[in-house]
Amino acid sequence: MTKINPLNTMVKQAGVFWALVALLILASLISPHFLQFTNLVNVLRQISITGIISIGMTFVILTSGIDLSVGSIVGSVSVVSALILKSGGSVGVIVPTALLIGAALGAVNGLGITIGKIPPFIMTLGTMVAARGIAMILANGSPIGWSNTGTDFSWLGSGSFLHLPSPVWVFALIFIIAALVLKYTTFGRYVYAIGDSREAAFLSGINVRKVELITYVINGVLSALAALVYVSRLDVGEPTHGTGVELDAIAIVIIGGTSTFGGEGGVKGTLIGAAIIMVLANLLNLLGVSPFIQQIVKGVIIISAVLIERQRKH
């Protein structure tokens, strides 16, 4: 089995970190509003919500997989959570139900890929379309609202602690757990080994199917958690929630230095990648740049990151 070079990963992450520093300096010089406390809090909140999904995507991409269904999972869980809240359901019902739905949809992806031998792109594309359709049916194509103010559930998306939004603390906890899992557990080593060489991992006695299945389940659960944050903050469940978030998550992971070939990278880089994408988006919003142009910029960044990665591999 090929030995992963940790120094190479550190060099890549250092480069991305300094790119973030340069972007922060540029943003503070271009826009006088960027360094305002309320704006920085808003940036942190956006980093946290998208970052939760991106951490799950990191696990998948480390095994050289891909998951296009995370946005649709967010939409489905948002609708189900809103329906439960509207019917008077408690937090003790909403949270486990949402996480179970995310785990189930992640397991569907994992089983289709590992047992059905369907390529990850095709399998998750199918799940993306199906899950979005389910969300539309359950919501009848319309937003589902309710009175959420003052409830225990509202804290998840709208609360704060030590002047920081609660999503920031949720993301910090998930980040720490994911970093520890990838660095210090057997499962984490298996994830890197599979991404490095699936055949070598199998010959080494690793249950490749099981590990891959678990990574997709993790991704589904974290997508569901992000959906809970969305619903709690917006007081509404929409079947269109999460549209396009899969592209953000993939871009964040790739920009953060995780190889599209698998086996190299980690959540530290994902954190930096999330900061870069969200700071850039915030700066463009402050400058009044059209959302359509922002999509073009994001697409160029994704393509550039992949091209740089391929050149580095060669």
pLDDT in tens, 192-242: 999 999 899 999 999 999 999 999 999 999 999 999 998 888 878 888 988
Asked, for residue 143, whether it belongs to a domain, the answer is: yes
Q: With pLDDT > 70 as the criterion, what percentage of the chain qualifies?
A: 92
Asked, for residue 226, whether it belongs to a domain, the answer is: yes
Asked, for residue 152, whether it belongs to a domain, the answer is: yes
User: What's residue 8's pLDDT?
Assistant: 57
Neighbours of 6 (CB within 10 A): 10
Asked, for residue 281, whether it belongs to a domain, the answer is: yes
pTM of the predicted model over 0.85: yes
Instruction: Report pLDDT digits (tens) over 279-301.
Output: 998 999 988 888 888 888 878 87
User: What's residue 306's pLDDT?
Assistant: 73
Q: Indicate the pLDDT class of residue 128, thresholds 50, 70 and 90.
A: very high
Asked, for residue 1, whether it belongs to a domain, the answer is: no
Q: With pLDDT > 90 as the criterion, what percentage of the chain qualifies?
A: 53
Query: Does residue 269 surpass a pLDDT of 50?
Result: yes
Query: Does residue 149 surpass a pLDDT of 70?
Result: no
Asked, for residue 90, whether it belongs to a domain, the answer is: yes
Contacts of 215 (CB under 8 A, 6+ apart): 59, 60, 62, 63, 65, 110, 191
User: Where does residue 228 rank: exposed (0-12), middle (13-18), buried (19+ CB within 10 A)?
Assistant: buried
Q: Which domain holds residue 99?
A: 6-313
Instruction: Tell me the C-alpha distance between 312 and 298, whole Å.
Output: 21
User: What's residue 13's pLDDT?
Assistant: 60
Instruction: Report pLDDT digits (tens) over 15-43.
Output: 778 888 888 999 999 988 898 989 999 99
Query: Does residue 7 surpass a pLDDT of 70?
Result: no
Asked, for residue 282, whether it belongs to a domain, the answer is: yes
User: What's residue 222's pLDDT?
Assistant: 97
Overall domain count for the chain: 1
Mean pLDDT of 68-76: 95
What CATH number did the domain enclosing 124 receive? 1.10.3470
Instruction: Report pLDDT digits (tens) over 79-116.
Output: 999 898 888 777 888 899 999 999 999 999 999 999 99
Asked, for residue 290, whether it belongs to a domain, the answer is: yes
